[in-house]
Amino acid sequence: MTLGIWIFGDQLSLDHGALASVAPQRVPVLLIESLAYAQQRPYHRQKLVLVWSAMRHFAAVLRAQGWPVTYAVAEDFETPLRDWIARERISELRLMRPNDRPLQTWLEGQDLPCDRRWYSNNQFLWSAAAFQTWIQGRKRFLLEDFYRAGRRKFQVLWGADGPLGDRWNFDQENRQTYGAYRKQKASPPPPLTFRADGITQSVIARVRSTGVGGYGDLTENFAWGVTREQAWQVLQYFLSQQLGQFGSFQDLMVQGQAVLWHSLLSPYLNLGLLHPQEVIAAAEEHYHRGAIALNQVEGFIRQILGWREYMYGLYHHWGNTDSDPEPNFFQHHQPLPAFFWDHRQTEMNCVRQVLAQTEHTAYAHHIQRLMILSNFALLLGVEPREIRQWFHSAYIDAHDWVMQTNVLGMGQFADGGRLASKPYVASANYIHKMSNYCETCCYQRQERLGSQACPFNYLYWDFLDRHREPLQNQGRMGLILKGLDRLTPQEKLQIHHQATQLRQQLGGKTSTEMKGDRDV
């Protein structure tokens, strides 16, 4: 029997389940850089450079360890896969289960001339089986319950018989406002950046010459890390420079400051260059060295041990397939405004800033994604599929498993509350509280009506009014809907009129029009 291993572009770990199944034996390994896969949607060019460069660097690491690696730069997956199986006379292909279902579905549909053996995906803390055990028999799948179970199971920030500091949650100390940031005169460190080496430069040249990727800036100054060593440096930098303020300012937004105290770790975690366990252990160790306060480290660990694992577990538990109709709880059908693809086309300062930053870096932090871009799309009534495709195209860390839960569930409430207990919507009030974007905006953050009124305001009230019926069944909406009751019928009508006008004005360019739009 001749064994062979195919490693996907987001499984770049030496602990890969299929590699571990044969080690220390060295068997043929395949990596494929497929142009067709990259052409599925108008990806940010930096995302493509990151993935392909990280794959090429990983192939070099494997070769240095003695693995016979075939690295195929190809039009698609199928041709080089079949050629390699024939050439190497592979009789058993070993694979680790993909993170994303579309790839799994595609693979299952392939009639290959060899056996296939699957290994469990080991890039998360909770295995699929352990997640199933946790979820079975539960009526509610609250993040908080799952997070506490994770703290207990993995003994993270764990005292003698309970959570350290006798508290699970430090939200009260965390999430400080822009006003608190200014008062403290806090000063965020610059993000750690890297110089593009020869391998990365050749990938940049390939992305340019093939014209693949339909969005975002790409210069020779590409600054993301592309190896495990660099990912590890980003983690160390985060621990020493940023973690100390992470919790306090995790919801803050400051014009001209893309990163603040966020970690920038998601691309590396999602490609397998870092494992969540080692990130959590490093953060915990840093805390025990007495370097930072408990609320800061708890706020960070909650993101990885809580949110990240929870989103991944639910994605596989719910198991939507591509043939299922896209959830659309509010029946929203507005096209995505063209300015999502070009920040210069909007005057809304908050939206413009986050979009400009996304074009330059392929990154925005959580609150920018959730409370500026996704919030605006939901208030406007954009078709969930359109905004999902945009997020999937635009961000350096985007993968199918993150889209279904974060964009459709958390961001758009398209699943009708399966994931979130209420829609994440807000008017200018919230944006002003958490940022300084409104200070230099041409719109008036306190106005609800009229040509100078902030669009977030009238869209917000119109959203609540249009969807009052389904919303009043969502437990946590009661107080918010009481605010709506204070508006007169005349005001509601004017608000609806202005919101409708805006919807009519904003033409849209779909991601299909931008460039192809197939889910592999």
CB of 314 to ligand FAD, least distance (A): 10
Quick note: the x/- pattern for ligand FAD over 409-448, rule CB under 6 A, is -xx-------------------------------------
Residue 249 contact, options ligand FAD, ligand SF4, none, Cβ 5-8 Å cut-off depending on partner type: none
Residue 263 contact, options ligand SF4, ligand FAD, none, Cβ 5-8 Å cut-off depending on partner type: ligand FAD
Q: Does 379 bind ligand SF4 (CB under 6 A)?
A: no
Quick note: the x/- pattern for ligand FAD over 279-318, rule CB under 6 A, is ------------------------xx--xx--x-------
CB of 363 to ligand FAD, least distance (A): 7
Total residues in contact with ligand FAD, by rule CB under 6 A: 26
Stretch that binds ligand FAD, among 120-128, 186-194, 257-265, 427-435 (CB under 6 A): 257-265
Helix axes 455-466, 489-505, angle to 10 degrees: 110
413 in the Ramachandran plot: left (φ > 0), alpha (ψ -120 to 50) or beta? left
- Radius of gyration of the chain measured on its C-alpha atoms: 24
Could you tell me how many residues make up the chain?
A: 520
Q: Does 349 bind ligand SF4 (CB under 6 A)?
A: yes
Task: Find out whether 339 and 350 touch, Cβ atoms under 8 Å.
Answer: no
Residue 8 contact, options ligand FAD, ligand SF4, none, Cβ 5-8 Å cut-off depending on partner type: none
Q: Does 406 bind ligand SF4 (CB under 6 A)?
A: no
Closest CA to 146 of 161, 165, 126, 166: 126
Task: Find out whether 474 and 422 touch, Cβ atoms under 8 Å.
Answer: yes
Task: Find out whether 391 and 516 touch, Cβ atoms under 8 Å.
Answer: no
In a 13 Å sphere around the CA of 333, the CA atoms on its Cβ side amount to 1
Q: Does 357 bind ligand SF4 (CB under 6 A)?
A: no
SS3 percent helix, strand, coil of the chain, rounded to 5, is 50, 10, 40
Q: Does 370 bind ligand SF4 (CB under 6 A)?
A: no
Quick note: the x/- pattern for ligand FAD over 470-489, rule CB under 6 A, is --------------------
Task: Find out whether 444 and 349 touch, Cβ atoms under 8 Å.
Answer: no
CB of 450 to ligand FAD, least distance (A): 30
Residue 30 belongs to what H/E stretch? strand 29-34
Q: Does 377 bind ligand SF4 (CB under 6 A)?
A: no
Instruction: Give the residue, chosen from 454, 464, 471, 514, that forms a contact with ligand SF4 under the rule CB under 6 A.
Output: 454
* CA 220 – CA 200 distance, rounded (Å): 9
Our CB check for ligand FAD shows the closer of 96 and 402 to be 402
What is residue 404's three-state secondary structure? Answer: helix
Q: Which residues pair with 71 in a beta bridge?
A: 31
Q: Does 54 bind ligand SF4 (CB under 6 A)?
A: no
Quick note: the x/- pattern for ligand SF4 over 411-440, rule CB under 6 A, is -----------------x--xx----xx--
Identify the DSSP state of 517. -
Residue 438 contact, options ligand SF4, ligand FAD, none, Cβ 5-8 Å cut-off depending on partner type: ligand SF4
Burial 45-84 (b: 16+ CB within 10 A, else e): bbbbbbbbbbbbbbbeebeeeebebbbbebeebeebbeeb
Q: Does 254 bind ligand SF4 (CB under 6 A)?
A: no
Other beta carbons less than 10 A from residue 244's beta carbon = 16
Q: Does 365 bind ligand FAD (CB under 6 A)?
A: yes
- Enumerate binding residues for ligand FAD (CB under 6 A): 262-266, 269-270, 303-304, 307-308, 311, 365-366, 369-370, 374, 391, 395, 397-398, 402, 406-407, 410-411
- Enumerate binding residues for ligand SF4 (CB under 6 A): 348-350, 428, 431-432, 437-438, 441, 443, 445, 454, 456
